Amino acid sequence: MYGMLNYLDDYGDNTFLQAPFNHVDNLVLAEMCYLDFENILPNLRRAPESKPLRQVAAEYATFLKDGQRKTDKLVNRFDISLIEKMAETRRFGDIAMCCYTTEVDLEIEKQFAALVYCLSDEVHYLAFRGTDNNIVGWKEDFMSSYLSSTPSQQDALNYLNTVFDKFDGRFYVGGHSKGGNLAVYASSKTTAANKARILQVYNNDGPGFSKDFIDSADYNEILPKITTILPQFSIIGQLLEQKGEPIIIDSSGLGFAQHLPQTWRIDHNDFVRAEMRESARLLNQAINNWMDQLSVEKRKIFVDTLFDIFGSSDGEEAIVPLSESIKHLQKIKERYKSIDDEAKQEMESAFDLLKQEIVTAFQASIKSIFSKSDKEASDEAKDTPLPKNT
């Protein structure tokens, strides 16, 4: 499959003067933001102090060798290969990196990270990290279903405003998953003067917003500059609401795995276009219908209860090594037993509603499959989730 690493092989010799910034460059820089650059990159307070990407890659490799960084199965294994290859290219090797900030706060339930790439003296890419392996970060994603703004969204706005104050020139603003949501939020809420300096806002399969937000003047002012990119079986990127026509792209992943950028198909210097799978549209419609049936209070109870079980307040990780999995599952079982009966009943009731909506979506998807050609039906069936008996 031709993906980001192939793109760097074939296109990496072209500087940004030789070939303009493109959608794939956006994804490469957004994906790189998942790596932990603590004690490698200058932080925001030291702006505009920076380091070239080639030096950052070398220092990261040293940290990895010394055991100061781990290879996280969720994203980092691919991203390590990505930064190594980027460092070898003329396109990315000499760009400056700076303004790194990262924070996980269990008390206010926040996971936030961002950095700036200086593509030239006058053009920059401000990247927001998506959800990493911290359970608290995943909980914060769900909190957006009942909060007008999350702690990370507020941090994103403050970060963008500070960076724009410290640097001249114009900016691309982007991120993957939650990072894309933060890019849109901060770009919407910033000042008119800052909005004028934004070249493009990239939301790479990030979730949407409440209807009130997308109907706001702030959002609609920046809307013409927003580029939303979704894989053909997008789940995260279709949650809640967004405006505008997204770019739908082909992916080698199956089902939810299409959310991972390394599965997105590229043709030379652009994404391979596709059409949204009907099964994905129906599944997201089911999830959004389910949320519409829950009051704000019930959404909060559901999210709090679910993530208390998974240990968000204890700083647990979403993916743990196989050697720790039994102990991890035992903790989840113990937390479930400790939840009071009322909260447990509310959560189970919410899951029953969700199951009903998914079954309805599954039935509609099956009907859709049988109405398509053999090729379309085969592709669609690969990604159609099968309901399980509970």
| pLDDT over 90 at 346, yes or no | no
In a domain, 388, yes or no: no
Domain that holds residue 145: 4-276
Share of the chain above pLDDT 70, in %: 83
Task: Provide the pLDDT for residue 387.
Answer: 46
9-13, 34-38, 75-79, 322-326: lowest mean pLDDT where? 322-326
Q: Are residues 236 and 347 in the same domain?
A: no
Q: Are residues 245 and 367 in the same domain?
A: no
| pLDDT over 90 at 227, yes or no | yes
| pLDDT over 70 at 373, yes or no | no
Q: Are residues 323 and 232 in the same domain?
A: no
Q: Where among 221, 251, 276 does a domain terminate?
A: 276
List, in sequence order, every residue forming a beta bridge with 103; answer none if it has no partner: 112
Read off the pLDDT band of 57 (50, 70, 90).
very high
Give me 125's structure tokens. 């890419």
Q: How many domains does the chain have?
A: 2
Task: Say which residue, 329 or 63, is predicted with more confidence.
Answer: 63
List, in sequence order, every residue forming a beta bridge with 134; answer none if it has no partner: 317
φ, ψ (nearest 5 deg) of residue 91 = -70, -40
Q: Any idea what the CATH number is for the domain that residue 77 is in?
A: 3.40.50
**pLDDT tens digits, one per residue of 170-204:** 999 999 999 999 999 999 999 999 999 999 999 99
Q: Where among 213, 242, 276 does a domain terminate?
A: 276
pTM for this one? 0.85
Residue 249 has a CB neighbour count (10 Å cut-off) of: 24
Q: Are residues 38 and 185 in the same domain?
A: yes
Q: Are residues 257 and 300 in the same domain?
A: no
Q: Are residues 201 and 325 in the same domain?
A: no
Task: Provide the pLDDT for residue 307.
Answer: 74
Write the DSSP symbol of residue 343.
H
**pLDDT tens digits, one per residue of 120-149:** 999 999 999 998 766 777 777 778 778 889
In the chain, what are the helix, strand and coil shares in percent, each to the nearest 5? 50, 15, 30
Instruction: Mark out the alpha helices in the chain (DSSP H runs).
Output: 4-11, 23-32, 53-65, 76-87, 135-143, 151-166, 178-189, 192-196, 211-214, 217-222, 278-293, 296-309, 325-338, 341-370, 374-383
Task: Say which residue, 211 or 341, is predicted with more confidence.
Answer: 211
Q: Are residues 29 and 100 in the same domain?
A: yes
